[in-house]
Amino acid sequence: MREENVEYFTEKEEEFANLLIEIGTKKATAKVLVFLASKPEATSRSIERGTDMRQPEISIATKYLIEQGWIKSHDEPSENKGRPEKMYKLAKPIHTILKSIEDEKKLEANNQLALVKKLRNYLD
């Protein structure tokens, strides 16, 4: 039997993920992002264990994060003769990613305010 270290979120990382969720980031996406922000590189299996999520959730989250250009992946040959493991890491610094999220949220807020102004025009 082989031994494996499993790393879990610290209290600060858990709070970071919860803040991302509160502003509208999907739970799985937030957790994967926070997990990768604390590591130079991680396998999908270590992300599953560290975030306490299932593989399909990890797969959906990593696909979205890759589409955003926030993370990148590559295949790492397996120690055994099995399939290669997917390795993930941030493609941009976490501060740059947070700036992108901030810009998106500002745009959403401005669009909502524009709709409220338009509603007010119906009353005049």
Domain ranges of the chain: 11-92
Q: Are 22 and 57 within 8 A, CB to CB?
A: no
**H-type alpha helices, the chain:** 11-22, 27-37, 44-51, 55-67, 94-123
pLDDT at residue 124 in the model: 72
Q: Residue 80 — very low, low, confident or very high, per pLDDT cuts 50/70/90?
A: confident
Q: Are 53 and 31 within 8 A, CB to CB?
A: yes
pLDDT tens, 30-45? 999 999 999 999 999 9
pLDDT at residue 2 in the model: 52
Q: Residue 87: enclosing H or E segment and its boundaries?
A: strand 85-90
- Say whether pLDDT at 18 is over 70: yes
| CATH 1.10.10.10 is the classification of domain 11-92 | yes
pLDDT at residue 6 in the model: 67
The identity of residue 69, as a single letter, is: G
- Say whether pLDDT at 53 is over 70: yes
Q: Which residue did the predictor score with more confidence, 115 or 78?
A: 115
- Say whether pLDDT at 4 is over 70: no
- Say whether pLDDT at 66 is over 90: yes
CB atoms within 10 A of CB 56: 9
Please report, for residues 7, 35, 91, the alpha-carbon distance to residue 10 in angstroms, rounded to integers and kept in the order given.
9, 10, 23
pLDDT at residue 48 in the model: 93
Mean pLDDT over all residues of the chain? 91
